[in-house]
């Protein structure tokens, strides 16, 4: 869920001396975002056109809040109106191509936007007739269905990027020319009329489940994120992280991890989190001695974890709940332990790097006091607690997000410094609309892919083909699924990536008796870590732009820091108790303790330092111990603890030997 505006709210530490901390300017941030994030290429409007966009944006948010509070419209109507708003803002804000004068809206842009709005609302205007047609559509229906597909693809190209358009277009071509495809992919092919109507006049394509989720509770959570910015909750996260860890060895890097973990509770955009938090943390890490590549990688890997951090994860997590037809709270609960392990692993690698390089923290007089921060702005946590509470007692995500918005406004009003004026509330509504455009279009484009899969039966064919390719074995199937997710992540945003892999690859895992939740979480994880996996690692490249580091090296280091995200999914597929599936309270506590010990061992192995520096043999020793400890089970835990104990004993002797000059194996 995107939150690409208002980066300036995180431009400093509230209690720090500004002359001691280098801060990246908003202009630099905007330039970096334009290189890695299509949503940052929106027109900078002023005057009359700015007010038109403002009113439309506020109107979109008001529509979403109104329907959430007083009852959603029928699915086709809700999604049609949602798509129409996305079309209008896209064709007003995003130019056909970036060029001189592209920031101006001309008369023909308004005509195109008006026509796009009508296309988006075509289902709403003709709802009763289309529902009663029973598939007997008119020529005009087919024509506007075709326009709907074209406008969706062009809007996605402008906002999300060309790769997702290419993938969606390939699936459309496949639907038409199916008879010419080889092997199990072949099918009889469908007419243009059948494809167009299936994609736009039913709830199987563009107006399908992904857009339905985006048009309901995802939008409200994005809006909640906008209110978070306006009330200053994002700055509160930074100040609390500084107070907790800024003074420790390698403090700014640890602060970046904690901040991103907190940010992850309310935001799911890897790139946006990287540039927002990184504009402060990366310069601080460089100032204290971290290599530019490592500083950028820390921020990128930590920010990427935001999409797996409950209670509010990335947009794909909400779609997962719909696909699996289970409460969203169950998704968040299942993600809790893997997310904690991910951030704990990154934190420990940062700690070992700081110890290895003998890096210090920030002076305490440069940092805010924890008690002061909580006393002055701790009330801003109330909305977050409210969302968790409503989800926990069984309310829908839609209701929980709506109550979160209400509590956010009320909590902000408790102090003058955080109180929102009516204009600021309207600004938050408009910001939420802007941030929702990309998610809406990614879901609409992914709907095309799902539509083709349901029309042709490709999902089951691909699942069977994937299992056959892996020889019917689970481990190779998991590996092929991982590679597929990472490749798709090079061009598709996380939401679209998850939708594609969950309809093609996840069924293959389920065929091999993997628990459905574990199968979907597996593809979800690898769709996310694609943001930091070279060669196309957008979050790592965004951090690299701030750090002025080598992008490829940054991506490789970020991958190493995020090693937990590559290991843990395999573990919970083979042992789903890590996802609270069939687990007891005692078992969960044991899993959490031993897994944290395992992530510590793996983190030490990755950095090459525990109590002192490691050689390659020690690193392998610790890595094996870590794997044993992460895998839930008493036997593996005992073996892992034994290996770790031997490794730690050797490290103690080695550190002592370094002082005495003796061989650690001989004394």
34: tokens are 């334009």
Q: Which residue stretches of the chain have pLDDT < 70?
A: 1-25, 100-101, 264-269, 490-491, 661-667
Query: pLDDT digit string (tens) for 78-119?
Result: 999 999 999 999 999 999 987 756 788 899 999 999 999 999
Q: Count of CB atoms within 10 A of residue 615's CB?
A: 10
Instruction: Supply the pLDDT for residue 452.
Output: 94
Instruction: Supply the pLDDT for residue 157.
Output: 94
Residue spans of alpha helices (H) in 246-327: 251-263, 270-287, 292-304, 315-324
272: tokens are 């946006």
The kind and range of the H/E element at 332 are helix 328-357
Instruction: Supply the pLDDT for residue 41.
Output: 82
Separation of alpha carbons 296 and 554, rounded Å? 6
Instruction: Supply the pLDDT for residue 663.
Output: 61
Separation of alpha carbons 245 and 372, rounded Å? 15
Instruction: Supply the pLDDT for residue 305.
Output: 84
Query: pLDDT digit string (tens) for 224-267?
Result: 888 887 888 878 888 888 888 878 877 778 888 888 777 765 55
Instruction: Supply the pLDDT for residue 204.
Output: 93
Query: pLDDT digit string (tens) for 532-584?
Result: 888 777 888 888 888 888 888 999 999 999 998 899 999 999 989 889 998 88
Main-chain phi, psi angles of 595, to 5 degrees: -70, -35
Query: pLDDT digit string (tens) for 609-661?
Result: 998 999 999 999 999 999 999 988 889 999 999 999 999 999 998 888 877 76
Residue spans of alpha helices (H) in 457-580: 458-469, 474-488, 494-504, 506-511, 516-529, 538-547, 551-561, 563-574
36: tokens are 């890695």
Instruction: Supply the pLDDT for residue 19.
Output: 39
Q: What is the value of pTM for the model shown?
A: 0.86
Give whole-number Cα distances, 504 to 182, 442, 452, in Å. 18, 18, 12
Of residues 261, 243, 248, the one with CA closest to residue 355: 248
Residue spans of alpha helices (H) in 378-472: 382-392, 397-412, 422-456, 458-469
- Residue 34: Cβ-neighbour burial (10 angstroms; 0-12, 13-18, 19+): middle
Q: Count of CB atoms within 10 A of residue 334's CB?
A: 25
Separation of alpha carbons 390 and 400, rounded Å? 5
Q: Are 430 and 64 in contact (CB under 8 A)?
A: no
């Amino acid at each position: 869920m995107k939150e690409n505006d208002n980066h300036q709210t995180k431009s400093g530490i509230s209690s720090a001396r500004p002359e001691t901390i280098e801060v990246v300017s908003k202009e630099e941030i905007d330039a970096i975002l334009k290189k890695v994030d299509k949503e940052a290429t929106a027109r900078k409007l002023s005057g009359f056109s700015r007010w038109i966009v403002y009113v439309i944006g506020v109107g979109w948010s008001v529509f979403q809040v109104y329907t959430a509070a007083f009852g959603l419209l029928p699915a086709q109507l809700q999604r049609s109106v949602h798509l129409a708003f996305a079309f209008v803002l896209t064709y007003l804000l995003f130019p056909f191509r970036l060029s001189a004068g592209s920031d101006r809206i001309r008369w023909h842009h308004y005509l195109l936007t008006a026509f796009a709005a009508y296309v988006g609302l075509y289902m709403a205007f003709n709802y009763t007739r289309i529902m009663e047609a029973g598939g007997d559509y008119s020529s005009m229906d087919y024509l506007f269905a075709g326009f709907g597909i074209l406008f969706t693809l062009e809007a996605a190209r402008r906002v999300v990027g060309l790769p997702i358009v290419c993938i969606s277009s390939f699936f459309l071509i496949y639907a038409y020319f199916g008879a010419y495809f080889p092997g199990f992919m072949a099918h009889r092919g469908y007419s243009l009329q059948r494809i167009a109507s299936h994609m736009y006049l039913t709830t199987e394509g563009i107006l399908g489940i992904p857009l339905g989720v985006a048009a309901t509770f995802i939008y409200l959570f994005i809006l909640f994120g906008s209110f978070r910015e306006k009330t200053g909750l994002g700055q509160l996260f930074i100040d609390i992280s500084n107070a907790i860890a800024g003074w420790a060895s390698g403090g700014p890097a640890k602060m970046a991890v904690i901040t991103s973990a907190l940010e992850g509770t309310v935001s799911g955009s890897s790139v946006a989190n990287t540039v927002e938090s990184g504009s402060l943390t990366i310069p601080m890490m460089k100032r204290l001695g971290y290599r530019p590549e490592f500083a950028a990688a820390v921020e990128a890997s930590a920010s990427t974890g935001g999409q797996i951090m409950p209670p509010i994860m990335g947009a794909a997590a909400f779609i997962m709940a719909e696909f699996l037809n289970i409460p969203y709270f169950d998704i968040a609960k299942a993600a809790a332990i893997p997310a904690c392990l991910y951030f704990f692993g990154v934190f420990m690698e940062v700690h070992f790097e700081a110890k290895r390089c003998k890096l210090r923290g920030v002076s305490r007089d440069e940092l805010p006091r924890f008690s002061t921060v909580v006393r002055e702005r701790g009330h801003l946590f109330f909305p977050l607690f409210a969302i968790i509470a409503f989800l926990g007692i069984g309310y829908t995500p839609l209701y929980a997000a709506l109550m979160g918005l209400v509590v956010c406004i009320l909590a902000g009003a408790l102090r003058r410094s955080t109180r929102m004026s009516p204009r600021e509330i309207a600004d938050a509504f408009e910001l939420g609309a802007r941030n929702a455009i990309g998610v809406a279009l990614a879901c609409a484009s992914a709907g095309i892919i799902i539509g083709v899969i349901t029309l042709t039966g490709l999902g089951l064919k691909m699942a069977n083909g994937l299992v056959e390719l892996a020889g019917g074995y689970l481990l190779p199937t998991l590996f092929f699924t991982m590679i597929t997710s990472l490749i798709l992540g090079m061009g598709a945003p996380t939401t679209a990536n998850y939708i594609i892999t969950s309809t093609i690859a996840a069924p293959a895992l389920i065929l091999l008796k993997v628990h459905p939740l574990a199968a979907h979480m597996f593809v979800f994880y690898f769709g996310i870590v694609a943001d930091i996996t070279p060669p196309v690692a957008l979050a790592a490249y965004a951090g690299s732009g701030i750090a002025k580091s080598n992008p490829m090296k940054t991506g490789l280091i970020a991958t190493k820091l995020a090693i937990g995200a590559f290991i843990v999914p395999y573990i919970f597929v083979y042992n789903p108790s890590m996802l609270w599936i069939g687990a007891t309270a005692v078992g969960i506590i044991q899993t959490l303790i031993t897994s944290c010990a395992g992530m510590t061992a793996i983190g030490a192995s990755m950095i090459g330092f525990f109590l002192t520096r490691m050689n390659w043999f020690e690193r392998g020793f610790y890595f094996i111990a870590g794997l044993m400890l992460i895998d839930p089970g008493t036997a593996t835990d005992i073996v892992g603890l034994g290996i770790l104990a031997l490794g730690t004993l050797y490290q103690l002797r080695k550190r002592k030997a370094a002082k005495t000059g003796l061989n650690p194996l001989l004394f």
